[in-house]
Amino acid sequence: MPEIGVAVLATGRMAQIHLAALDALRTTNRFREDAPFQVGKLVVHGRNEEKARALAATFPDVQVQMDYDAILNDPGVHVVDNCLVNSLHYPTLRAAIEAGKHVYTEKPLTAHLDEARRLRDQAVQAGVHHGIVQNMRFQAGPARAKEILQRGELGRIFHVRAVFGYFVPPDLANRPAWFYQKEEAGGGIVHDMMAHFFDLLEYWVAPVEQIAAVTGTFFPERTGPGGERFPVEVEDTGAVLARLRGGAIADVFASWVRRKHEAVPTFQIDGEKGSLLFNFHRLWIQKSEETPLFRFDPTIEQVNNEQGWTELLLERVNPFQEQLRQFLEGIATRKPVRPDWNDAVRTQELIEEAYARTLG
């Protein structure tokens, strides 16, 4: 079976998650006789050598290589796994493709749509495998929702709702300032989170055909982790409406300035034969024959809002590990898997349309 070496680029939170998933796959496959691949060399590359060495030291047998050209010229590295800031995606991934490496990246593919299209075309022409992280597809709740929808259990779909958000105080303690800079990030919460939610809408239900949006920036100035003040150049709140092929309506609300009271994110899908209510780890279904007749009386407290809902047991899964497993198995078997960069470009096209159709 082939050994597939992977270089993880960056040292932040997402790089830590990716490296942990790769280390788990390396351990698991080592004891599987039927494993289609083994995880070979693991390398960490970052801009800060101290952070790179600290990250590598948290796992066994992980190398550090600060010279990116050396990674690209290393025959033991077959995949570049990119977790760098958005503005660095394009040149970094372009160089990897030119070196013949398979490419796997955090979303968005790039900060700008034209660059995303060029990268996609370059990867296709080079014949390398290309993957975009869409961990939400692989979370237990969304994955079970996909199975239920594929079986047609909800019948004709009426609408989909997603609510995402939490409060990020104006004094940043756990988030870098680049997240709020247009050139570095490419956009705000619409750019960041609709990359997931547009993907899910089309994965679950149908292509998006119409879009409208409204956005706001409620903290026009913030303080970075080092105490420096800086202007916020992107939106921190967005509401997106969409009509899907077949007539279903979708609404997504995402905000970095709301105080959560539910699991983040929370979804509801309503259809003619039933509804789903779910988050990443739990899912409830209400079939039409179990839907109680609702009589509205504003003078009486509604005390049984769970009536008619049945919780389904879900198998725990590490979505990052599962998607990486599928991507690496696709390389080993020479059968490309999705989501790929065609999906990535599609979501960026929809994001640009949402910005273009934002209410003044």
In this prediction, residue 269 carries a pLDDT of 99
Tell me the average pLDDT across 267-275. 99
In this prediction, residue 298 carries a pLDDT of 87
In this prediction, residue 125 carries a pLDDT of 99
Which residues is 283 bridged to in the sheet? 278, 312
In this prediction, residue 323 carries a pLDDT of 99
305: number of Cβ within 10 Å: 7
Between CA 86 and CA 116 the distance in angstroms is 11
Strand ranges of the sheet holding 274-278, from the earlier edge strand across to the other edge: 208-216, 237-244, 249-255, 157-165, 266-271, 274-278, 283-287, 310-312
Q: Which fold has domain 3-134+321-337?
A: Rossmann fold (3.40.50)
342 pLDDT higher than 70: yes
pLDDT digits (tens, 9 = 90+) for 13-25: 999 999 999 999 9
Retrieve residue 95's tokens.
Answer: 């160089």
Percentage of residues of the chain with pLDDT beyond 90: 87
**What is the residue whose two structure tokens read 């789903």?**
276
Tell me the average pLDDT across 331-338. 96
Residue type, 348: Q
In this prediction, residue 174 carries a pLDDT of 72
pLDDT band of residue 360 (cuts 50, 70, 90) is low
Q: Which residues contact 53 (CB under 8 A, 6 or more apart)?
A: 64
Between CA 77 and CA 7 the distance in angstroms is 6
219 pLDDT higher than 80: yes
Between CA 109 and CA 81 the distance in angstroms is 12
Burial 202-224 (b: 16+ CB within 10 A, else e): bbbbbebeebebebebebeebbb
In this prediction, residue 57 carries a pLDDT of 98
In this prediction, residue 305 carries a pLDDT of 85
Q: Average pLDDT over the chain, rounded to whole?
A: 96
Tell me the average pLDDT across 344-348. 98
Which residues is 8 bridged to in the sheet? 44, 81
Residue type, 154: L
Answer left, alpha or beta for residue 227, where phi above 0 means left and psi between -120 and 50 means alpha: left
pLDDT digits (tens, 9 = 90+) for 83-139: 999 999 999 999 999 999 999 999 999 999 999 999 999 999 999 999 999 999 999
Out of 3.40.50.300, 3.20.20.70, 3.30.360.10, 3.40.50.970, the CATH code matching 140-280+282-315 is 3.30.360.10
Q: Establish whether domains 3-134+321-337 and 140-280+282-315 are of one fold.
A: no
Tell me the average pLDDT across 245-258. 98
- DSSP codes of every residue in 2-71: -EEEEEEE--SHHHHHHHHHHHHHHHHHHT-TT-S-EEEEEEEE-S-HHHHHHHHTTSTT-EE---HHHH
pTM: 0.95
- DSSP codes of every residue in 296-330: --TTS----TTTT-EEEP-----HHHHHHHHHHHH
Retrieve residue 42's tokens.
Answer: 């693991």
**What is the residue whose two structure tokens read 């004891």?**
31
pLDDT band of residue 312 (cuts 50, 70, 90) is very high
What ranges do the domains of the chain cover? Answer: 3-134+321-337, 140-280+282-315
